[in-house]
Amino acid sequence: MTNNVACKFCGFGHVIKFGTFNGIQRYYCKDCQRKFTELDTLPKMKTPINEIGSALNMYYGGSPIDAIQSNLQQSYGKYLSEPAIYKWIVRFTKEAIAKAKDFKPEVGNVWLADETGLNVGNRNVWFWDIIDAKSRYLLASHISVLRTTNDAQILIEKAIRRAGKMPDVVITDKLRAYIDGIDLATGGRAAHIRSKPFTDENSTNIIERFHGTLKQRTEVIHHFKNLETARLLTEGWLIHYNFFKDHESLGNVSPVEHMKVDMPFHNWDDIVRYSNVAEPAVYIPVLLRPMHRPHTPKQKRSAYYRKAMRKNRAKKKLIEPIYSQFSMGRKRK
């Protein structure tokens, strides 16, 4: 028997030496009848955990995969293919999402919401995000093709689920979809402030800076292939933003570290090391629908009038340019 060596698969210590391969000692477990090495690697993987963690940190820090490949080759003297690095990113991003799913942040009562357009599969889609103004924690993200009231409502409801509380104030830009979306999601219990950009008070500059950082990240990815890939890698980057990325405004610590709460992990190495080898995490994007819909006659009547007002405003936007051109033509005559 070999002392102080436990099986990587079953965790028991009934292990014996089983020869060497390329100068690396191999072991055999009598309980599960599997072979493994003493290197700091996951079962059935040859690359050490710290190298995989470095690759994930570089990727979500802004490095393209070809730069990660050359960096690992210079640092560790190993050639790793780009598809292999991409598979690590996808696999352990799913693990990070699964581990962070039940984390409840300690956030304030003022939230900032905004949206930005990004290119996904050669078409423009909208990324909706909502951040806590106090901790800079990114509460929720939502991807849609249009900017509708339902999308705004889904964003706020996802943030409420994550925080486990209702906000007192939600600050947004001038997009009309937020007016009814926030009212439906909070039941009218949260104040809605429509801010002006580039102002100090009641401004969405914090989330605008976040979107600038997100666009830098997508420049590295170039173009997401589809919405599923966009959702997966964006969720992974948001975990990196909340748990690992240092913020100057918070004293060069991450938002979760600034909260001084128990963290499910401290870096990408932890995510790789404690990943579930037997049952790898599966990421299934959920297309949410609004929780709150009008039920009482009063709510249905209010929703009907709001919808009629939106249709009327849309008609005016279509008619006004035509009317102005017609009136200019008559004046010229």
The CA–CA distances, whole Å, from 185 to 6, 29, 134, 182 equal 51, 55, 21, 5
Spell out the per-residue pLDDT of the chain, length 333, in tens.
566 777 766 767 777 877 776 667 777 887 787 777 766 677 777 788 888 999 999 888 888 888 899 999 998 888 889 889 988 998 999 999 988 888 888 899 999 888 888 777 677 888 888 888 888 898 988 888 888 888 999 999 999 998 889 999 998 888 888 988 898 888 888 888 887 654 555 555 666 666 666 666 565 555 566 777 777 888 888 888 899 888 877 888 888 888 888 888 888 988 988 876 555 565 555 555 555 566 677 767 777 777 777 667 666 665 555 445 545 554 444
Assess if residue 291 is contained within a domain. no
Decide: pTM greater than 0.85: no
Assess if residue 190 is contained within a domain. no
Range of the domain at 29: 1-38
Assess if residue 213 is contained within a domain. no
Q: What is the pLDDT of residue 109?
A: 92
Assess if residue 11 is contained within a domain. yes
Assess if residue 23 is contained within a domain. yes
What is the strand order of the sheet 35-37 is part of? 15-21, 24-29, 35-37
Q: Count how many domains the chain has.
A: 1
Listed as own residue / partner, the contacts of 171-176 with beta carbons closer than 8 Å and 24 or more positions apart are 171/110, 171/111, 171/112, 171/113, 171/133, 171/195, 171/202, 171/203, 171/204, 172/112, 172/113, 172/114, 172/204, 173/114, 173/197, 173/204, 175/115, 175/147, 176/310, 176/313
Task: Find the distance separating the first CA and the last CA of the chain, reported in whole Å.
Answer: 104
Q: What is the pLDDT of residue 198?
A: 45
pLDDT per position as a tens digit, 212-235: 666 665 655 555 667 777 778 888
Assess if residue 8 is contained within a domain. yes
The CA–CA distances, whole Å, from 257 to 105, 193, 241, 266, 286 equal 11, 29, 12, 9, 28
Assess if residue 122 is contained within a domain. no
Which residue matches tokens 């936007």?
A: 317
The CA–CA distances, whole Å, from 247 to 136, 254, 257, 299, 307 equal 9, 6, 10, 43, 41
Count of beta carbons in the 10 Å neighbourhood of residue 149: 22
Assess if residue 323 is contained within a domain. no
Q: For 78, list phi and psi in degrees, rounded to 5.
A: -125, 140
